[in-house]
Amino acid sequence: MGYPRKLTRRFQAFDNFAISFTIINILSGIFSSFGFGMNAGGPRILVFGWIGVCVMVLCIGAAMAEVASAYPTSGALYFSAGKLAKRHKGAWSWYTGWLNFVGQIGGTAATGYAAATFIQAFVALQWPSYTPTAHQTVLITALIIVVQGLANTYTVQLVAVLNRISVWWLLIGLVVIVSTLIVMPDHHQSASFVTHFVNNTGFTNGLYGGLLGLLVTSWTFTGFDGSFHMSEETVQATVNAPRGIIRSIGYSAITGLILMLALVYSIGDYTKVAGSSAPPVQILIDGLGMGWAKAMLLVVIGAMLFCGLANLTSNTRQIFAFSRDGAMPGSRLWHSVSPRTRTPVKAVWLAVACSLALVVPGWWSHTAFTAIVSVNVVGLFLAYAVPVFLRLRLGDAFQPGPWNLGRWSRPVGWLAVVWILLSSILFMLPQASPITADSFNYAPIALAVVLAVATVWWFATARRRFQGPVSYGRPDEVAAMDLI
């Protein structure tokens, strides 16, 4: 790929899969967004929407995996965009990299915030006199992100072990939660309940309300580019990185459907649950009792913490690679590697600082925080679309790696690009009516700000100094630089 090897290849195939599986994190994703789905489509969209969107996400993952096999580098999306573009390589690479960077930073902040929210929900159940506040949520979020930064700095081997443990935490936690929801509640909904449709979005058009409900699945399935970003630390990356992407999506789709069905059929009083502050927690309390509900909530909180750790690890690799090509302020600093751990420690703390900066507005307004991190999903999926689109535009000139889709490459790729465009539009439409300052969807404004800053920066200075991925020389010259 034209770079000297600075990062140690310590990730096996399972480790590479684990990073994306942990970031997708069905427990975190479903428990965080289930309440929205109950009001935007109800069980019909939660279940059948999950199945349909999972198929589309699998197409996105397969198209990305093909690109990952051809360009297995930490730069991942922005690197492949620069290599696949016929013209304006620097511009394609620049915008893809910044969308990916902002999306990942938003993901780290949002995951930490969700974990802080659920931690306070647990504390409130344990000690009813405790009243969560916005200030406490921000402080707990900051503490979580800093601890995750310390783990990525001083216990790198432990982080790799934790990523492996996280897979079993998720799977065993899923089995425990689903089993208890099957066995313990006195009442379950009838089989036909899965077709029940609800539209409490405030919009009179049921189709629109149902389409909004599809976002539950899309919110959950972000971050599977983590396997791509960890390529330079993965053995046999041309095969193991794409397999990590596909397996993480496939296993998450199946296990997520099982969890979704268990939650849906355990709903008691629909109106009461849908109107509660945390509908999945209310389902656990109603069906299992307070003691078991608190135990299950600890499982979910653990999953969220694992998710945030993996997200931060992936984030730092993108920063490392983007800086290696001179695309960030202070690039020389951020792509340096610790001689002790062989990891980009300074990039870790840049990721921590940027995530904390996104969390700060939550001190004054939850709406402001939501507006900033809302670009997380849109930014990531648009970054996913760019290299896939450029690969399609390149046609037969594209040189696939060992893992490829063969004759299915073009139809799968176009399905992926079209779905990303449609779902991105959905993410930017109003999601509740009446539209007020608190219910307004700020995602398009946040995305416009990101693109405006990137554009001004590009035309002001970046286009003269950034031409896309840098080559450090011929393969033999680069090999001589390895680990120097």
For 154-210, write each residue's pLDDT tens digit: 776 777 788 788 889 999 999 999 999 999 998 899 999 999 999 999 899 999 999
Give the model confidence (pLDDT) of 275-312 as tens digits: 888 899 999 999 999 999 999 999 999 999 998 988 89
| pLDDT in the model for residue 484 | 43
Whether 41 and 196 have beta carbons less than 8 Å apart is answered as: no
pTM over 0.85: yes
pLDDT class for 475, splitting at 50, 70, 90? low
What whole-number percentage of the chain has pLDDT above 90? Answer: 48
Q: What is the band of 478 on the pLDDT scale with cuts at 50, 70, 90?
A: very low
Q: Quick one: DSSP state of residue 234?
A: B
CA separation for the pair 325, 102 (Å, rounded): 17
pLDDT over 60 (residue 477): no
Residue by residue, DSSP assigns 386-440 as HHHHHHHHHGGG----SS--GGGHHHHHHHHHHHHHHHHHHHHS--SSS--TTT-
Neighbours of 371 (CB within 10 A): 18
Residue type, 198: V
Residue 381 or residue 369, greater confidence: 381
- Predicted confidence at residue 6, as pLDDT, reads 62
Task: Using the predicted structure, report yes or no on whether residue 227 has a pLDDT greater than 60.
Answer: yes
Beta strands, E only, 241-316: none
Nearest Cα residue to 352 out of 8, 104, 16: 104
Beta bridge partners of residue 199, listed in sequence order: 40
User: Taking Cα atoms as reference points, which of 213, 221, 252 lies closest to residue 60?
Assistant: 221
**Closest listed residue to residue 347, CA positions, set 336, 356, 357, 355:** 336
Q: Looking at residue 344, what is its pLDDT?
A: 80
Mean pLDDT over residues 406-418, rounded? Answer: 95
DSSP of 7-59, one letter per residue?
A: S---B-HHHHHHHHHHHH-HHHHHHHHHHHHHHEEHHHIIIIIHHHHHHHHHH
Would you say residue 109 has pLDDT above 70? yes
In this prediction, residue 39 carries a pLDDT of 92
Highest mean pLDDT among 135-144, 225-234, 321-330: 135-144
Kindly report the length of the chain.
484
Out of 10-19, 76-85, 132-141, 333-342, least confident range: 333-342
The mean predicted confidence, pLDDT, of the chain is 87
In angstroms, the CA 124 to CA 13 distance is 40
CB atoms within 10 A of CB 136: 15
49 Cβ partners below 8 Å, 6+ apart? 37, 41, 210, 213, 214, 216, 217
175-183's contacts with Cβ under 8 Å and 24+ in sequence apart are 176/296, 176/299, 177/27, 177/259, 177/262, 177/296, 177/299, 178/258, 178/259, 178/262, 180/288, 180/292, 180/296, 181/262, 181/263, 181/265, 181/266, 181/283, 181/284, 181/287, 181/288, 182/262
231-275 pLDDT per residue, tens: 888 889 899 999 999 999 999 999 999 999 999 999 999 999 998
